[in-house]
Amino acid sequence: MYPRAFHYHRAGSLKEAAAMLVQLGDDAKLLAGGQSLIPLMKLRFANPAHLVDLNFVSGTSYIREDNGAIRLGSLTRHAEIEASAAVARIPILHDCAAGIADVQVRNRGTIGGSLAEADPSGDWATVLFTLSTEVRCLGGTGERAVPLSDFIKDAYTTALAHDELVSEVAVKIPPKGSGGAYLAFKRSAPVYPTASAAVQLTMDRDVCQDAAIALGCVGLVPIRAKDAETALRGQTLSEKTIARAMAAARAASDPQSDMRGSADYKRALVEALVKRAIQIAVRRAHGEQVEVSHIYA
Amino acid sequence: MPDNVVPDRIENVPIQLKVNGKSCSRTIEPRKLLVELLREDLDLTGTHVGCDTTYCGACTVLMNGAAVKSCTVFAVQADGADILTVEGLEKDGELHPIQKAFGDCYGLQCGYCTPGLMLSALQLLSRNKQPNEKEMRKSIAGNTCRCTGYQNILKAIQMAAQNMKGA
């Protein structure tokens, strides 16, 4: 399948790419990893007249620890994040990077592209909602840092202006005693998850000091399950408190019935994923090494 | 822009890349996919088109040593890259240990997915000499085989790992 014909432009720097967007107008799109955009273009759901290729810009793929944060260049591939020792210290990030689609897609797809696309079924935004995350947006007038919760506006809609692009994603390193887990349920590796749950807990022995819970694929944007967080915060984590959080997460989810499952099925899935993610997050908060990733049916 | 409006004067783009160790240059339309460059322009038809929607992995090739679905990379993006296709696996008339193992273990039936699977296996074995079963399964999760049920493919990868030891 061929996409509609387009003009190809190769950016030498991110600044130049932003300038090209201004010059080329509304019919221009950025090409990062291309693992969503190219399929959409082949199906002719997306028909840009101009593509600005970011893949030849040097210095855009990096993972740096700096000032209590991990900074990821926008063109950092999922596979590079999966292999990073710095990221391994924040297991929830590794869970996400190692489970997105399959090897081939992870070799190409980028964290900046994933956030900028804001697909309701994407993985990164859901995970990063549970950590303190800033998205750096570069445009003609300079660079600004946007908290992730302000960056994601709606399905496929972000705070990026037409002449802006994502330059970096900065994730605050969680405090000691904090552990997290991301579980996504998929029918097979290459497809989007049916539902996903990200849980980050800060524990003081058996008591949960702080909790962040986000749900993916069950709304137009990732859903912060605030009532579920409240159900855990300040509590000793027993089966009862976890059950309360599960019920609150289920109530917070807003899934649609589609080919991946009925709305009811997805609500049940949310409960189960939240339960498992809490259990793994607690074990990790206590220093245990637990390997998890996306679950296939 | 609507689907039926073709922008005028699309400029073709010159690219230079290495395919199976051989340099080649072409001037191509930007929308040409890497898999089409390989199959139609370079006559390397061992790389297959299966689903053409980034699912099945039949079109998997190595780009600078990393497995990619060549139906989901524009050929212009491979400018300067080193591409390895199934045709580049054998050396001096000798099958690559991965090719031999797929044959010896009956790791194929119809063979359509095999080139892609062998290149995914090559990425794995070039980075991990002794993969366990979980790592093998993960490495081929992006390659769909509708015949074998994967058991013999896993056996083949394991045999290839054995035979590539010390290589």
CA distance A110 to A77: 4
How high is the pLDDT of residue B6?
A: 58
How high is the pLDDT of residue A79?
A: 98
Q: Residues A130-183: pLDDT tens digits? A: 999 999 999 988 999 999 999 999 999 999 999 999 999 999 999 999 999 999
Please list the alpha-helical segments (H only) found in A43-163: 78-82, 85-88, 91-99, 103-108, 111-117, 124-128, 148-151
Q: Residues B95-141: pLDDT tens digits? A: 999 999 999 999 999 999 999 999 999 999 999 999 999 999 999 99
Give yes or no: residues B28 and B72 share one domain: yes
CA of A271: how far to CAs of A213, A232, A245, B108, in Å? 12, 15, 9, 40
Spatial CA neighbour of B101 closest among B166, B46, B153: B153
Å from A258 to nearest chain B CA? 19
Q: What is the CATH number of the domain that holds B71?
A: 3.10.20.30
Q: Which CATH number is associated with domain A63-172?
A: 3.30.465.10
Parse chain A into domains and list their residue ranges. Answer: 7-53, 63-172, 178-296
In the structure encoding, which two tokens stand for residue A14, read together?
């991110």
CA of A224: how far to CAs of A53, A87, A240, A250, in Å? 34, 23, 21, 12
Answer yes or no: are the C-beta atoms of A255 and A197 closer than 8 Å: no
Give yes or no: residues B68 and B104 share one domain: no
* Residue-wise burial string across A46-76, b where 16 or more C-beta atoms lie within 10 A, e elsewhere: bbbbbbbbbbebeebbebeeeeebbbbbbbb
Give yes or no: residues B82 and B115 share one domain: no
Give yes or no: residues B104 and B160 share one domain: yes
Percent of chain A with pLDDT over 90: 96
How high is the pLDDT of residue A1?
A: 83
Name the helix (H) or strand (E) containing B88: none
Number of domains in chain B: 2
CATH T-level topology, domain A7-53 = 3.30.43
CA distance B142 to B117: 9
Low-confidence ranges of chain A (pLDDT < 50): none
Of B57, B88, B119, which residue constitutes the final position of a domain? B88
How high is the pLDDT of residue B117?
A: 98
A152-154 and A157-158 beta bridge pairing: antiparallel
In DSSP terms, A73 is beta-bridged to: A168
Of B67, B88, B109, which residue constitutes the final position of a domain? B88
In a domain, B31, yes or no: yes
Q: Name the pTM for this structure.
A: 0.96
In a domain, B6, yes or no: no
Per-residue DSSP letter, B22: E
Give yes or no: residues B69 and B34 share one domain: yes
Give yes or no: residues B25 and B68 share one domain: yes
> Is the per-residue pLDDT at B28 higher than 90?
yes
For B127, the closest chain A residue by CA position comes to A83
B60: which chain A residues are within 8 Å (Cβ-Cβ)? Answer: 104
> Is the per-residue pLDDT at B1 higher than 60?
no
ipTM score assigned to the predicted complex: 0.95
> Is the per-residue pLDDT at B3 higher than 70?
no
Confidence of residue B4 (pLDDT cuts 50, 70, 90): low
B55: which chain A residues are within 8 Å (Cβ-Cβ)? Answer: 190-191
Q: Residues A52-77: pLDDT tens digits? A: 999 999 999 999 999 999 999 999 99
Q: Which domain holds residue B158?
A: 97-164
**Mean of pLDDT over chain A:** 97
Q: Which CATH number is associated with domain A178-296?
A: 3.30.390.50
- In 10 A of CB A23, how many CB atoms? 12
Answer yes or no: are the C-beta atoms of A130 and A212 closer than 8 Å: yes
Give yes or no: residues B43 and B62 share one domain: yes
Q: Which of A7, A103, A190 sits opposite B123 (nearest CB)?
A: A103
Contact call for A35 and B54, based on CB within 8 A = yes
Of B64, B88, B112, which residue constitutes the final position of a domain? B88
Q: Which of B6, B7, B142 sits opposite A105 (nearest CB)?
A: B142
